[in-house]
Amino acid sequence: MKKLLSTVATAATIAVAAPAFAADIIVVSHGQANDPFWSVVKNGVEKAAEHTGANVDYRSPETFDMVQMSQLIDAAVNQEPDGLVVSIPDADALAPAIERAVSAGIPVISMNSGSDASKELGALLHVGQDEFTAGLAAGEALAEMGGTNAICVNQEVGNVSLDQRCAGFEEGFGGTVEVVPTENDPAQVEAKVKAALESNPDVDTVMGLGASTVGEPAVAAVEAIGRSGEIMVASFDLSAPFLQAIVDGKAAFAIDQQQYLQGYLPVAFLALNAEYGLVPGGNVPSGPNLITADKAGQVVELSAQGIR
């Protein structure tokens, strides 16, 4: 009898601890999970699933492909989940699929990119940073540090958010800015940055739009031509090696949009919405935060752990 009562008590405890309703949530992003930046987003998604008990499925195209991403959203809508999280790098391309989800009664939250289009497409809210404003802040900071001639390296041409970063940077910087398009390949980025610097010795500033894909190879390119200390390198987003470069004085700063929150918060919000009908009343800015030498050392370890 004691054993039976103990078993019943244990089962009751588990029943109380378990979520009353395990929501089904699908996340569709434009970033590949093997990209260091997006692996942090995915880590946030998985931690939110663990904390809320939601069943969460993370999906992304193999490359930056809006047709494939639209198809992934359509497939998610057909599964009728309790919530859908999407990034919106190209609102024109993804609008039909997102609006189809909203019309089907599926709560949608956008994250990372698309803050300007999110509300218009019917999303409940957006979690991320305003990319133009972040670029503006970066440009102003680098101009104050003495920069006059810059390149803005765009590793994902066609991504509206990255275009906004360069546009904001150009306005804030105020000097000469040339956009250098590359692919999402650090080796190619290093070669192109090196070529750009060698062809124009007046360049004194390099603005990267991703720490792993551009920031790190840009630092390597500057070192390769023997101009460390002469050319300032800054980047959006974080990686442990780029943060170390900041600590070592080889880079100026990084712009942290806290992408872990971009993965975590939409899942948590949609789980709460599914169970209790709760949802924040507006967008949630996850950044920008400038990480300079005095702060970089503190977040190197968290970056290595896939949290920052």
For residues 113-131, give the mean pLDDT: 95
pLDDT at 19 over 70: no
DSSP per-residue string spanning the chain: -HHHHHHHHHHHHHHHHS-SS--EEEEE-SS-TTSHHHHHHHHHHHHHHHHH--EEEEE--SSS-HHHHHHHHHHHHHT--SEEEE--S-HHHHHHHHHHHHHTT--EEEEES-TTTTTTTT-S-EEE--HHHHHHHHHHHHHHTT--EEEEEESSTT-HHHHHHHHHHHHHH-SEEEEEE--S-HHHHHHHHHHHHHH-TT--EEEES-IIIIIHHHHHHHHHTT-TTTSEEEEES--HHHHHHHHTTSS-EEEE--HHHHHHHHHHHHHHHHHH----SS-EE---EEE-HHHHHHHHHHHHTT--
pTM: 0.80
pLDDT of residue 157: 84
- Matching fold, domains 2-128+258-277 and 131-256: yes
pLDDT at 258 over 70: yes
Tens of pLDDT, residue by residue over 159-184, are 888 999 999 999 999 999 999 999 98
- pLDDT band for position 11 (cuts 50, 70, 90): very low
Assigned CATH for 131-256: 3.40.50.2300
Which CATH fold topology does 2-128+258-277 show? Rossmann fold (3.40.50)
Domains of the chain, by residue range, sit at: 2-128+258-277, 131-256
pLDDT of residue 16: 37
